[in-house]
Amino acid sequence: MEVRTIVEECLELWRDPYPRLARLGEEGERPVGVFCSYTPEEILHAAGLTPVRLMGAVRAITHADAHLQAYCCSLARTDLDMALAGELSFLEGAVFVQTCDTMMRLSDIWRRNTGFSYHGDLVLPIRMGEEVSLPFLIEEVKRFRRGVEGFLGREIGDDALEESIRVYNRNRRLADRLYRLRASRPGAIDGLSATACLVAGFWMRREKHNELLHGLLEDLEGSEPIGGDGKLPLLVSGSVCTTPDLFELLLELGADVVDDDLCCGHRYFDAFVDESAPPEEALAKRMWERVNCPAKHQCIEDRFQRLVRQVGDSGAKGVVFYLQSFCEPHLFDIPYLRQCLQEELEVPSLVLESELQSFSRGQLRTRLQAFIETISGV
**Given the rule CB under 6 A, which residues bind ligand SF4?**
73, 75-76, 99-100, 102-103, 239, 295, 324, 327, 329-330
Q: How many CB atoms lie within 10 A of CB 32?
A: 26
Beta carbon nearer to ligand SF4, 281 or 355: 355
Task: Give whichever of 17 and 56 is closer to ligand SF4, judged by the CB atom.
Answer: 56
What is the nearest approach in angstroms of ligand SF4 to the Cβ of residue 164? 25
CB of 100 vs ligand SF4, minimal distance in Å:
3
Q: Which is nearer to ligand SF4, 10 or 262 (CB)?
A: 262
- Shortest CB 296 distance to ligand SF4, Å: 10
Give the number of other Cβ atoms within 10 Å of residue 25's Cβ.
15
Crossing angle between the packed helical segments 3-15 and 191-199, to the nearest 10 degrees: 70
CB of 333 to ligand SF4, least distance (A): 11
Strand 31-34, strand 50-53: pairing: parallel
Beta-carbon count within 10 A of 60 CB: 9
Question: Considering beta carbons, is residue 267 or 285 the nearer one to ligand SF4?
Answer: 267
- Smallest gap from Cβ 39 to ligand SF4, in A, equals 13
Run of H or E residues at 335: helix 328-340
Question: Measuring CA to CA, which residue among 231, 234, 236, 292 is closest to residue 260?
Answer: 236
Beta bridge partners of 106: none
Cβ-contact 322, 371 below 8 angstroms:
no
Q: How far is the CB of 99 from ligand SF4 (least distance, A)?
A: 6
Across the chain, which distance is largest between two alpha carbons, in Å? 64
CA 74/CA 70 separation, integer angstroms: 9
Rounded-to-integer distance, Cα 204 and Cα 218, Å = 20
> Minimum distance from CB of 133 to ligand SF4 (Å)?
19
Whole-angstrom CA distances from 109 to 54, 66, 69, 84, 236 are: 16, 11, 12, 11, 32
Q: Residue 202 carries which side chain, given as an amino acid letter?
A: F
Helices (H), 155-205: 158-184, 191-199
Q: Which is nearer to ligand SF4, 99 or 169 (CB)?
A: 99
* Cβ closest to ligand SF4, residue 205 vs residue 330: 330
Shorter beta-carbon distance to ligand SF4: residue 124 or 174: 124
Least distance (Å) between residue 56 CB and ligand SF4: 9
Nearer to ligand SF4, 76 or 350 (CB): 76
Kind and range of the H or E run holding 206: helix 206-221
